[in-house]
Amino acid sequence: MKIISLIFLMTSVILVTGCATTTNSSLSGVDRSQFLMLPASSVVTMSGQAYNETLEKAKTAKTLNTDPAMLKRITTISNKLIAQVGIFRADAPQWAWEVNVEKNEQLNAYCMPGGKIMVYSGLVEKIDATDDELAAVIGHEIAHALREHGREQMSQAYVQQYGIQALATLAGDGVTGVLATQGAQLGSQLFFALPNSREHEREADRIGLELAARAGYNPNAAVTLWQKMTTQNPASPPEFLSTHPASQNRISDLQALAPKVMPLYDAAITSHGK
């Protein structure tokens, strides 16, 4: 009975201490408490190794940053968004941000934990994306990183696979070192294989829209972006939509939020221009 009580107490402490919200309250209204048992440093290490592995493969295939003009365009948009991340969390401006473009026909983009951004050329070319629309995509992906959705998913995956006690043992024995030795393979499996939940997508939509508006990009472009994406091939949605489902409800939510952040956009273009 004492053992059961001890396990229950330990589990309760872990659950309580592992719950927090990663971003500041803002106009987007995202303040959900998150389950974050894995150390942030471990997740950044794993995802960083996976990102570097992706870069090496692209270099070998001669598909990395092959279009200087496109890279400059994506980098310029990304840097304007990155300049606003401090609104949502104080540490984010100091992340080791990196922006790359891969020649790939898929309509896809992502931002790894810690600020490693990748945009596929197909996203730019196939839908003839405007700067505002690209800002909507990249802002959405940056929002996932700011909210540490990858870390949250990994924490949940570890609990499901190994149990809360095993995770607690790892944490006590130095989880950073244990996970770091597992390298890019584990980072790739956990980051790329775990689909974003509906709640994660809603949060990334909301923060991404606010982020884009603060950076001087028209928030209404998020609506036209999703409309373009869904019309590409209704029978076989783009890769981006396989993990980022674009429903009419989602478009309606973005349409409802856009007027709320429009004053931020107006202020940004008045102060700094686009």
- Catalytic residue annotation: 141
C-alpha–C-alpha distance, residues 140 and 206, integer Å? 8
- For residue 166, give every residue at least 6 positions away whose Cβ sits within 8 Å of its Cβ, in sequence order, or none: 158
**In terms of Cα–Cα distance, which of 203, 187, 197, 204 is closest to 243?**
197
At residue 101, φ and ψ (nearest 5 deg) are -125, 130
Q: Work out the angle at residue 29's Cα, subtended by the Cα atoms of residues 24 and 33, and round it to the nearest 5 degrees.
A: 60
- Reported as type and span, the H/E element at residue 102 is strand 98-102
- CA 53 vs CA 21, 58, 224: distances in Å: 30, 9, 33
In DSSP terms, 100 is beta-bridged to 118
34-35/19-20 β-pairing = antiparallel
Distance (Å, rounded) from C-alpha 92 to C-alpha 225? 26
